[in-house]
A and B are shown apart, each in its own frame.
Chain A
Amino acid sequence: MKLPVVPFLTPPHEAISHGDWLLTTAGGDVALAKEVPHWDYQTTLELAAPVSVDRQAVTDACQLERTSGLAVVVMARSNHTNVERVAARLDLPMNDAFDLAVQIRLDGAELGGRLTLETLLVVTEPKPQSHLAPQRPGSIIWRRSTWTDLEGSGTQFPTDTMDFMTAGLDPNAGWQLKIDLSDPDARFMSATRLTLNSAHPSVVRMLGGVRDDGTEQLLRTLNWDITRQMVQVAIASDDVCQMDMDPDGTSVAAVLRNLLSRIWPTESTIVLRRWLEHDPGRIEVRLQHFSRLLK
């Protein structure tokens, strides 16, 4: 990393210690990895790191009076948006040495790409004892940065959240899937959307990353129901049933056709239509197996 040359004295590295950043998750704190998967604009990252500053050593080395104002500042920068902002500022008390628990919350709306967290030790009120000491408020006398890449590269199912009550939908429902087949050639990601009820307590727990028997069963149920609805739409559609399987297809019709082939690799769509009409239980049983509804 390129470090700027500063026109004043700086403290020795041992005067400041900075622990690793920890990411708060529903399962507890974990070390911040080089990639945060499943991140999107609506994700709020909560991070913490321990920082210790030896005021006496810092001010001695910088030829500042011991009572100079010092602060630890954390800057967050995204190389996707170029946005830079203060994530935390902690003014140091006058103790000789002080341990700080730096905690930050980063709203996703301005982030994306590579997130760089730069921790700075800044002289907020310099009381210089020599011309070599930092003279100006805001002088950066120490810095350390770390980074993580936001957004995994995997494809995600098109999903959003909404309070069903305010949208005039049943507040006790958990989700709604919409598949628009009016243009079979439209891209699946544009023509399909799963909306989760952001006001339902069970959905809130699932979205919050809680992992217990309840949320795991809810996830399996959601997966089964979405698959089931897609299959129903697919079998009912002439456009889908008349297509050949195309593993590279990205249109809504192609994705639905491919789903049928993955679930029933040896059956034709003619057979599936016949089953749906005369023996729908056969379709349902296979769907429960395929989507692993039960543990």
Chain B
Amino acid sequence: MTLGTLLYPRLPRGAARRLIAERSDLDLAELEALAALQHPDAEPSATGGHPADISKLREVQSAVRAAAVAAGYPKPLGGAIQNFDRPCGSLLYELMGIVPADAAEEGVWSFLTLVMVPEIGPWRFPAQAEERLIGRPRNVLRRTWWRAWALGPNLESAPAGCEALGEDESVQIMERPSLGGNRRTARALQSALWRAEANGLQVPRSELMRQLARRTRAVKSHIQFDVLSDEALDELLDRVTAQCLEAIAT
């Protein structure tokens, strides 16, 4: 299943903050033991779809945990964060059957992160910053789902000779709503980066992405990308890429 109309329980911010405060001293095994599929303060949207049943919640819980184990859980991730983020985003996107409107709800991701898989957030982000645990846009799971929506669904695939997008590169697109909120633009940017990489880059790719995102946003303020054919859009972004490379080189 890709997109459906399943509604997930929403954990209010107050309850989420209480859980974070109560559990701040627990280790991963203790947090794992506290996992649950329901919470007395959580409820799905009253209307707009069908509430995800317990078996669906369990399926999502198991899948996130399997992705974490495949990435080395409970050992620290170190620099290999994409070993978890990319497969996690793709599987959440494929499995949850949640619509983007519900996937933009803070409470949904607070519930998943703090109730269903409470050990995953502190493992992926050991500093346990609240913004990674509460379901806001930088939440440990929410950000991966939205990356899969905008750039995927398979976040691990890349053309021959190219690497899938890294953390910094994804952030450059996703944290600019005018780029990350428009799927066609986001994917065109990703492809432009890969074309530049395939042609041989003399500069770090993440630096190029930083420049490319900034300049593309400026161009988008007066050029409507969605009226351009795919070829014309690629041509435009290749031109912007060339300007970026020139600017980095000087």
Which A residues contact B (CB, under 8 angstroms)? 4, 6-8, 40-42, 71, 73, 75, 77-78, 80-86, 89, 108-113, 120, 122, 124, 136-140, 155-160, 162, 185-187, 189-190, 193
> CB distance B101 to A6 under 8 Å?
no
5 nearest CB pairs, A to B? A82-B181, A40-B48, A41-B48, A189-B43, A4-B221
Pick 25 A–B contacts, CB within 8 A, sort by A.
A41-B45, A41-B101, A73-B224, A73-B226, A75-B226, A81-B103, A82-B180, A83-B182, A84-B181, A85-B182, A108-B48, A108-B101, A110-B99, A110-B101, A120-B224, A124-B227, A137-B227, A137-B232, A138-B223, A139-B223, A157-B46, A158-B46, A159-B47, A189-B46, A190-B38
B222 to chain A: closest residue by CB:
A6
How many Å from the CB of B50 to the closest CB on chain A?
5
Q: Which residues of B contact A6 (CB under 8 A)?
A: 221-222
Whether A81 lies near B224 (C-beta < 8 A) is: no
- B102 an interface residue at 8 Å Cβ cutoff? yes
In this complex, what residue of B is CB-closest to A120? B224
Closest chain B CB from A109 CB (angstroms): 4
Q: How far is the CA of A127 from the CA of B221 in the complex (A)?
A: 21
CB pair B43–A190 under 8 Å, yes or no, is yes
Which B residues, 44 to 79, have Cβ-Cβ distances below 8 Å to chain A?
Answer: 44-51
Partner of A109, one of B3, B40, B181, B232: B3
Instruction: Specify which chain B residues have a CB less than 8 angstroms from the CB of A73 in the assembled complex.
Output: 224, 226-227
Q: Output the least CB separation between A145 and chain B (Å).
A: 14
List A contacts of B191 (CB < 8 A): none
Contact at B227–A158, with CB atoms within 8 Å?
Answer: no
State the B residues within 8 Å of A (CB). Answer: 3, 5, 9, 38, 40-51, 99-104, 177-178, 180-183, 221-228, 232, 236
A92 to chain B, nearest CB (A): 12
Contact of B224 among A138, A157, A190 (CB under 8 A): A138
Min Cβ gap A89→B in Å is 7
Q: Measured between alpha carbons, how far is A85 from B102 in the docked complex, in Å?
A: 18
Question: A84: which of B41, B102, B182 is its contact (CB, 8 Å)?
Answer: B182
Q: Decide: B104 and A80 in contact? CB cutoff 8 A.
A: yes
B228, A138: Cβ atoms under 8 Å? yes
Residue of B nearest to A191 (CB): B43
| Residue numbers in A under 8 Å from B99 (CB-CB) | 41, 109-110
Distance A156 CA – B101 CA, assembled complex (angstroms) = 17
**Is A193 touching B45 in the complex (CB atoms < 8 A)?**
no
How many angstroms between the C-alpha atoms of A6 and B222 in the bound complex?
Answer: 6
Given contacts A85-B182, A140-B224, A190-B43, 19 further A-B contacts (CB under 8 A): A8-B222, A41-B5, A41-B45, A41-B99, A80-B104, A81-B100, A82-B177, A84-B177, A84-B182, A110-B100, A111-B101, A124-B227, A137-B227, A137-B228, A138-B225, A158-B47, A162-B50, A189-B46, A190-B42
What is the CA–CA distance of A193 and B48 in the complex, to the nearest angstrom?
Answer: 12
Cα-based distance from A104 to B50 in the complex (angstroms): 27
